[in-house]
Structure 1
Amino acid sequence: MTEIHNGMPAQQMPNVVWRKSRHSGSVGNCVEVAPLVNGGIAVRNSRYPDGPALVYSRAEMAAFLHGAKDGEFDDLIA
């Protein structure tokens, strides 16, 4: 079994199904996510599908999503 780790090329992650938000544009400037068999969540840039993926625990991703929903990062896109 391949050990999945932070920064590994996304195409080397076995049995990973990537998806992006339905709010993403058609030009490919999107963040894609994939659940991992170990319970983690991988994130990659759709413009570079073979590039490195970042791997987060479910708790890390939950903390980020809660912060985003609460508006903690709104100043980054204002």
Structure 2
Amino acid sequence: MYSNGVPADSITNVTWVKATASDGIGGNCVEIARLEEGHVALRNSRDTSGPALVYNSGEWKAFLAGAKSGEFDGMTV
């Protein structure tokens, strides 16, 4: 399994998905990929070979639940 900080371009045989709400003009996009065993990788689309953060299924579900409930709304400018 991949660990946090692994170069994103070393994660192979996956499909990176970008949110349709991402800002394609300014390159302000994050991408996610589904990995084995329910893990998810997250990378910055402006640096596709840079580090990827890897989350297990429980961590990812907790983040999504928090985002959906508005817990992180104050993080944006």
Superposed, 1:1-78 pairs within 5 Å as: 3-27=1-25, 28-78=27-77
Q: C-alpha separation between the residues in 2 aligned to 1:29 and 1:12?
A: 22
What TM-score do you get using the length of structure 1 for normalisation? Answer: 0.88
The C-alpha deviation readout for 1:3-27, integer Å capped at 9, x for no partner, is: 4211110111121210110111113
Unaligned stretches of 5+ in structure 2? Answer: none
The number of equivalent residue pairs is 76
**Which stretches of structure 1, 4 residues or longer, exceed 4 Å deviation after superposition?**
none
Q: C-alpha separation between the residues in 2 aligned to 1:46 and 1:59?
A: 24
Give the structure with the larger strand fraction: 2
- Aligned-partner residue type, residue 10 of structure 1: A
What TM-score do you get using the length of structure 2 for normalisation? Answer: 0.90
Give the alignment's Cα RMSD to 1 decimal: 1.2
